[in-house]
Amino acid sequence: MSRTVLAEIDLTALKYNLNRVRELAPECPVAVVVKADGYGHGLGRVAQALSTADACAVASIDEALLVRETGFTRPVILLEGFFDSSELKVIASQRFTAVIHHEWQLRALEQAELTAPIKVWLKVDSGMHRLGFPPEKSAEVWQRLSTCANVVEPIIPMTHLANADDRDDQTTVQQLTRFDAVTTGVSAECSIANSAAILGWPQARRGWLRPGIMLYGVSPFVTGSGETCQLQPVMTLRSALIAVNHHKRGDPVGYGGSWNCPEDMPVGVVAIGYGDGYPRHARPGTPVLLNGKMVPLIGRVSMDMISVDLRSQPQAGIGDPVILWGRGLPVEFIAEHAATIAYELLCGVTRSRVRHTEIEERNHGEIL
């Protein structure tokens, strides 16, 4: 048996999750966010599977071109616009949509000589203080964009919410108020909502939706998992048991010997580590599914391996199947045990070592 670490990508679940967005806001056009290699799921396959989306949203020209290569002919939105004015020619020829978030971009756009005008979204900083024009400047920017020969109407105002993942945090209400103050009456269209807003803030569910993480079946909220949002996990990270050993009470396990066997016990070794994208900071006790049942991680995560406590499965044998996250074990739980967020874990799966496989046409009644 060769070392096979698999990221199984469930395209049926992906499409199901897009339908969930449609159910929540049937009137709204949807720009599916496929940046960062489709949140680690493979940008090409994700864009292809979600070809019924009204648009794709990405972070760079390279990602936008990959979307076009799949045959996607609808708008492709560059969420940070262009990084250099030399990209404007490609944007015009490929009919990409550029977010304009800064004065330098506006000037570059005004000065460019383009063969065709481009579509733009105007980013308003309603309180996140990352990208965007301050609300008090947005009227002037709007004016300049609407008189710029390189811009095609309509200009769509957008903003991004900083705290929507916490449904009790009133920052979201304040951001919406600031955004509405500068856009109401100016534009019929707009774009506000990420996954957390789509699921948790009905008043933000308007205009172009920008779901990312929820498409991949993961909850955007600070607690809970995708299942509680009626989403289905798309990636299942799989490996196998490669050793079963018996250690004595007091024996240390792994680097640093930071974990000691509390009694004579069987210990399993799984072929997965931080070299594959499994988080090194996953604490002892992090759940691992072995033969469909939970066993706890013990000791430190190494580059290629982790150890697990086999006291609840002393019969486990070499080659037995292991799920690190996905079906039956939400990636949100692993993120919590590793003091990070599911986004980082999904994006961090190592493409050079972890083989992606696709599954489709599964009977969903089976697993949920």
> Which spans of this chain sit near ligand PLP (rule: CB under 6 A)?
33, 35, 79, 160, 194-196, 210-213, 220
d(CA 193, CA 62): 24
Give the nearer residue to ligand PLP in terms of CB position, either 160 or 327: 160
Pick the closer one to ligand PLP by CB: 88 or 164: 164
Residue from 150, 97, 94, 147 nearest 123 by CA = 97
Looking at the Cβ atoms of 11 and 198, the one nearer to ligand PLP is: 198
Tokens of residue 227, six digits:
């299942």
Q: Write down the catalytic residue from 15, 35, 119, 123.
A: 35
Q: To the nearest whole angstrom, how small is the minimum distance from the Cβ of residue 197 to ligand PLP?
A: 8
Instruction: Provide the pairing of β-strand 287-290 with 321-325.
Output: antiparallel
CB of 57 to ligand PLP, least distance (A): 7
- DSSP reduced 3-state for 55: strand
* The two structure tokens encoding residue 114: 């383009």
Shortest Å, Cβ 227 to ligand PLP: 17
79 or 112, CB closer to ligand PLP? 79
Q: What are the respective helix, strand and coil percentages of the chain, to the nearest 5?
A: 30, 25, 45
Residue 255 known to be catalytic: yes
Closest to ligand PLP by CB, 210 vs 238, is 210
Q: From the CB of 119, what's the least distance to ligand PLP, in Å? A: 16
DSSP category for residue 132: S
Q: Pick between residue 214 and residue 241 the one whose CB is nearest to ligand PLP.
A: 214
Tokens for 329, please give them.
């074990």
Residue 75 tokens read as 């708008």
Least distance (Å) from ligand PLP to the CB of residue 261? 41
Name the closest residue to ligand PLP (Cβ).
212
Q: What is the 3-state secondary structure (H, E, C) of 230-255?
A: CCCCCEEEEEEEEEEEEECCCCEECH
Instruction: Give me the phi and psi of 215, to 5 degrees please.
Output: -65, -30
Residue 96 CA to residue 59 CA, distance in Å, equals 12
Is residue 261 within 8 A of residue 250, CB to CB? The reply is yes
Minimum Å gap between C-beta 123 and ligand PLP is 8
Give the span between the Cα atoms of 172 and 64, in whole angstroms: 29
Active site members: 35, 255
